[in-house]
C-alpha cells in the first residue's frame, strides 16, 4: 500500500515505511504545518495547536530527517524560544541566552538522548543526570551584583527579556540579598502559583466581577507582568530555581552540587531533585514523579534531565535553540470529545488559508476550549472530519487544542463534508496550491485586505519593530481609516499630524456631535493627546533598529527570527544583504553560491529572499521605509579569539573530536561555520579522507590546516 493510500485511512505512515519521494512530501507538509503554527503563535498571539501537537510535528520531522538526511529542507522547523518581549516593559538583554529545551515523549526518546550525549562526548558509559519536575510557570532571570538583587527579567525571546524588577521584589521567597554568593550571580527559575493560591485568586476575581485566569500558568505569568507592582504583590507567587546564567565564578563542578549551593544561598529548589544514571533509571524517575503529580500542589508538565558534570555540559554546548545536554520528558496530553459545529477559513499575512474548527465548548484539563486548527485541506481529508462530527481533542498546556480525528460511529445523518474554498474569503482572488505545497494561498497579494493588515501587524510585532503603544488593534484602526497602508506610513504619522493631514487627537463629543466645552464655553482639549504624543515618541525611538529585527520585520517568506539573524550576521549591513539578494537572482552567480554557504540557509530560504527583492513594489516599499528608518550594522562578535568573525569549513574525518563538537567549539569562539568552500572561506580544517572541499580550497588559495593545527590555534 502506498503512503497516500495509508494516509487516506487516517493514519500517519510510519517513518520506517516512507520512500524517499514520500519522505520529501511529508517534510513539505510538516514544514507547512509548523510554519502556520509559528505564525499564529509568535506573530498573531493566537495559538492554533497544543504544545503536544506542535512537539509531535517537530519530532516526526526530526525522525524523517534522521532517516533521509539529504532531504533536510532549508525551512526545516525550528522551535523558537518563548516570545519577544512586550512593549509594556523596559527591554534588557540577557548576559547569557535563555534557551528552550528539546522534548522527549517516551523511553525510546530518552535512550536516544543519552545515546547522543555519549556519542558526542565519546563516552563508553552513561554519565549521570540531574532530574527534576518541569514546573509549568513563567521563566525568570534574577541578577545579583555583590549579593544585591539588581534585576529581574523574563525570558522574552531568549536574547532579550522584560525588566520586571519592581514586581520581582514583591515575591516573598525570592531573596533580595544573598551572603556568600559570587560577585556576579544570575539565578534562573520558574515563577508559579500553587493550585490552592490559584483557586483563591480566581474566587476573589469572581467576587469583584473581573475576568478569571484559565490556569495557574497564565495566572503566574499575568501576575508577574503587571504594570502596577502592587497588583503583583497581592498575588500569591512563588519561585523555584532550576539553573543559572552569568556567573563570575562557578557554583560547583556539577549541576546537582551547584543547585545545592543555590539552596544554601537561600533559593528554593525542588525537593525532588535527584541524580540518576542510565535510561532505565531516568524513566523510572519520570514514572515516580507522574504518580506524585496530583499531590504536588502545583502544575508540572514533565521532568527535565540535565547532564550532571558541568565540564561535559560545556563540551556539549548548544544548538540554535536548545542545549545538547538537557531534555524535557513530557507527560501525555489530556483528551476530551466534543462537537465540531463549523469550520472557518482564516487568511494569514502570507496569504495562507487556514481552516479553524469551531467547537462546542468543552473543558479539558481545567480550561474551556472552543477553537482548534485543522491546518490545511489535507489534514481535514486525512482525519475524515465532517461538520457535525463528534471529534476527539487533545490539549497539553495551550488553550487551543489539537483535533485528533472524528468518532465515525457517532456521525449524525446531517453531517456535511467540508469543501475547501478555491477563492479567498477576504478579497475573492483565486486561492491556489502550488505543487509540493501543503497550504493553499490567496493570490491577491497587496490587494488582499487580510494580507496587508497582517503584514503590518507582523511589522510591529514584538520580534520585529515592537513599537510601544502600536499593537494589532491600533494597526487595524489606522488601516481602516486609511492612515497606515504600508510600513513607511507609520513613521510619517507625526509629520502628517503636525501638517493637519490627519487627526489622531480624538475629542469628546456631546449629544449633538459637537466638541464638549467647559463651563466657560471653551473647547475641552482631546483626552488622548498625551497618549498620541507618547506613540509618536515611541515611533521615533525605533528609527534606528537592529539589522536582525529589520530583516525579520519585512515579512519575507521563510525568514523567521533565526534566519533573519543568520543573514544579519553573514552580511553585516542591509545594503550588503539587499545587493546580494539582487545579484543572487542568477543562480550561477557567486552571490547565489555565497548565500548557500551560510550555515542553515538552503535553496528554498535563499529563493524566498531573492523573490522578495525581485518584486518592484517590495523594493519601492523598502526604499520608502529606509527614508524613515536606519537598520544598524550587525553586532560585531565580541571575542578576542583568533577565529572570531572568520568563516570555517571542516572536512574529512576528525579524530580528536566529533564534527558537531568541532562546529560547536568554532561557533563559541565567534567563528562562522559553513558547509561548503568559497572565495569567502577563511580557513579549512581538513582531516584524513578530505575530498572535493579540500581540492576547492587549494584551487581558491584558501588556507588549509590539520586537526592538530586547529587545536593549537584555538587553544584546546
Give catalytic residues, as residue numbers. Answer: 134
- Spatial CB neighbours of 617, under 8 Å, sequence gap ≥ 6: 446
Q: What does residue 305 show for φ and ψ, rounded to 5 degrees?
A: -110, 135
Strands (E), 621-682: 630-631, 647-651, 672-673
Q: Determine how many CB atoms are found less than 10 A away from the CB of residue 441.
A: 21
Of the candidates 235, 147, 160, the residue with the CA atom closest to the CA atom of residue 191: 235
Question: Three-state SS for 293?
Answer: helix
Contact 313, 255 (CB under 8 A): yes
Burial of 5 (0-12, 13-18, 19+ CB in 10 A): exposed
Cβ-Cβ contacts under 8 Å for 501 (sequence gap 6 or more): none
- C-alpha dist (Å) from residue 695 to 504, 598, 692, 704: 64, 20, 5, 10
Q: Three-class SS of residue 309? A: strand
What's the CA gap between 553 and 485, in Å, rounded? 15
CA distances from 286 to 169, 330, 620 (A): 34, 9, 56
Residue 619 pairs with which residues in a beta bridge? Answer: none
Query: In the block, which residue shows the cell 540535565?
Result: 306
Rg (CA), the chain: 27
In the chain, % helix, strand, coil (3-state, to 5) comes to 40, 20, 40
Q: Taking Cα atoms as reference points, which of 310, 306, 319 lies closest to residue 660?
A: 319
What is the rounded CA–CA span in Å between residue 369 and residue 15? 32
The three grid cell numbers given for residue 337, joined into one nine-digit string? 470529545
SS3 string, 226-292, reads: CCCHHHHHCCCCEEEEEEEEEECCCCCCEHHHHHHHHHHCCCCECCCCEEEECHHHHHHHHHHHHHH
In 250-409, at which residue ranges do the beta strands (DSSP E only) sit?
A: 274-277, 300-307, 326-330, 334-347, 353-364, 367-373, 386-387, 390-395, 402-406
In 44-89, which ranges are E strands?
none
CB atoms within 10 A of CB 350: 19
Would you call 301 helix, strand, or coil by DSSP?
strand
Helix (H) or strand (E) holding 663: helix 659-668
Helix (H) or strand (E) holding 474: helix 472-480
Instruction: Indicate the SS3 state at residue 64.
Output: helix
Residue 41 has what DSSP assignment? I
User: Burial, 217: exposed, middle or buried (Cβ in 10 Å; 0-12, 13-18, 19+)?
Assistant: buried
Amino acid at each position: 500500500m502506498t503512503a497516500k493510500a495509508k494516509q487516506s485511512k487516517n493514519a500517519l505512515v510510519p517513518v520506517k515505511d516512507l520512500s524517499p519521494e514520500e519522505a520529501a512530501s511529508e517534510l513539505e507538509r510538516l514544514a507547512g504545518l509548523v510554519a502556520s503554527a509559528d505564525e499564529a503563535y509568535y506573530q498573531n498571539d493566537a495559538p492554533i495547536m497544543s504544545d503536544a501537537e506542535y512537539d509531535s510535528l517537530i519530532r516526526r520531522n526530526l525522525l524523517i530527517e534522521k532517516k533521509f538526511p539529504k532531504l533536510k529542507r532549508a525551512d526545516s522547523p525550528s522551535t523558537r524560544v518563548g516570545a519577544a518581549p512586550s512593549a509594556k516593559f523596559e527591554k534588557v538583554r540577557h548576559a547569557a541566552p535563555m534557551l528552550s529545551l528539546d522534548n522527549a515523549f517516551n523511553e525510546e526518546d530518552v535512550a536516544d538522548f543519552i545515546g547522543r550525549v555519549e556519542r558526542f562526548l565519546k563516552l563508553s558509559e552513561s554519565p549521570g543526570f540531574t532530574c527534576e519536575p518541569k514546573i509549568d510557570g513563567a521563566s525568570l532571570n534574577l541578577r545579583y551584583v555583590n549579593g544585591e538583587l539588581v534585576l529581574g527579567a523574563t525570558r522574552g525571546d531568549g536574547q532579550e527579556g522584560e525588566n520586571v524588577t519592581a514586581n520581582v521584589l514583591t515575591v516573598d521567597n525570592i531573596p533580595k540579598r544573598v551572603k556568600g554568593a559570587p560577585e556576579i550571580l544570575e539565578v534562573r527559575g520558574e515563577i508559579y502559583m500553587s493550585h490552592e493560591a490559584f483557586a483563591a485568586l480566581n474566587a476573589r476575581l469572581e467576587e469583584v466581577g473581573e475576568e478569571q485566569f484559565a490556569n495557574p500558568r497564565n495566572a503566574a505569568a499575568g501576575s508577574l507582568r503587571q504594570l502596577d507592582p502592587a497588583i503583583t504583590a497581592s498575588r500569591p507567587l512563588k519561585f523555584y530555581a532550576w539553573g543559572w546564567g552569568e556567573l563570575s565564578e562557578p557554583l560547583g563542578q556539577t549541576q546537582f552540587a551547584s543547585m545545592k549551593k543555590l539552596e544554601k544561598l537561600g533559593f528554593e529548589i525542588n525537593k525532588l531533585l535527584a541524580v540518576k544514571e542510565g535510561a532505565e533509571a531516568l524513566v523510572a524517575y519520570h514514572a515516580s514523579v507522574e504518580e506524585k503529580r496530583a499531590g504536588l500542589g502545583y502544575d508540572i508538565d514533565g521532568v527535565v534531565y540535565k547532564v550532571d558534570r558541568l565540564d561535559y555540559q560545556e563540551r556539549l554546548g548548544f544548538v540554535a535553540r536548545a542545549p545538547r545536554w538537557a531534555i524535557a520528558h513530557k507527560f501525555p496530553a489530556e483528551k476530551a470529545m466534543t462537537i465540531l459545529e463549523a469550520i472557518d477559513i482564516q487568511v494569514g499575512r502570507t496569504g495562507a488559508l487556514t481552516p479553524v474548527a469551531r467547537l462546542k465548548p468543552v473543558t479539558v484539563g481545567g480550561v474551556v476550549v472552543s477553537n482548534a486548527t485543522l491546518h490545511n485541506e489535507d489534514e481535514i481529508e486525512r482525519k475524515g472530519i465532517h461538520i457535525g462530527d463528534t471529534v476527539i481533542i487533545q490539549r497539553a498546556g495551550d488553550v487551543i487544542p489539537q483535533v485528533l480525528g472524528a468518532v465515525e460511529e457517532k456521525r449524525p445523518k446531517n453531517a456535511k463534508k467540508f469543501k475547501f474554498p478555491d477563492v479567498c474569503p477576504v478579497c475573492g482572488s483565486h486561492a491556489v496550491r502550488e505543487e509540493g505545497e501543503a497550504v493553499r494561498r490567496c493570490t491577491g497579494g497587496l490587494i488582499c485586505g487580510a494580507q496587508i493588515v497582517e503584514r503590518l501587524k507582523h511589522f510591529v510585532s514584538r520580534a520585529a519593530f515592537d513599537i510601544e503603544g502600536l499593537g494589532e488593534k491600533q494597526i487595524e484602526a489606522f488601516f481602516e481609516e486609511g492612515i497606515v497602508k504600508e510600513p513607511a506610513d507609520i513613521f510619517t504619522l507625526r509629520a502628517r499630524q503636525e501638517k493637519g493631514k490627519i487627526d489622531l487627537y480624538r475629542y469628546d463629543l456631546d449629544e449633538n456631535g459637537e466638541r464638549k466645552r467647559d463651563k466657560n464655553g471653551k473647547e475641552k482639549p482631546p483626552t488622548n493627546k498625551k497618549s498620541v504624543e507618547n506613540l509618536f515618541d515611541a515611533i521615533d525611538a525605533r528609527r534606528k533598529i537592529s539589522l536582525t529585527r529589520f530583516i525579520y520585520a519585512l515579512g519575507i517568506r521563510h525568514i523567521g527570527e533565526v534566519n533573519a539573524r543568520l543573514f544579519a550576521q553573514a552580511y553585516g549591513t542591509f545594503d550588503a544583504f539587499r545587493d546580494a539578494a539582487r545579484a543572487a537572482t542568477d543562480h550561477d552567480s557567486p552571490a547565489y553560491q555565497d548565500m548557500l554557504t551560510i550555515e542553515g540557509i538552503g535553496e528554498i530560504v535563499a529563493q524566498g529572499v531573492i523573490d522578495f527583492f525581485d518584486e518592484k513594489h517590495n523594493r519601492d516599499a523598502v526604499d520608502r521605509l529606509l527614508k524613515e528608518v536606519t537598520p544598524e550594522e550587525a553586532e560585531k562578535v565580541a571575542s578576542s579569539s583568533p577565529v572570531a568573525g572568520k568563516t570555517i569549513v571542516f572536512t574529512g574525518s576528525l579524530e580528536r573530536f566529533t564534527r558537531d563538537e568541532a562546529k560547536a567549539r568554532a561557533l563559541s569562539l565567534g567563528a562562522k561555520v559553513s558547509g561548503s568552500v568559497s572565495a569567502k572561506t577563511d580557513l579549512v580544517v581538513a582531516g584524513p579522507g578530505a575530498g572535493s572541499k579540500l581540492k576547492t580550497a587549494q584551487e581558491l588559495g584558501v588556507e588549509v590546516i590539520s586537526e592538530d593545527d586547529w587545536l593549537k590555534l584555538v587553544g584546546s
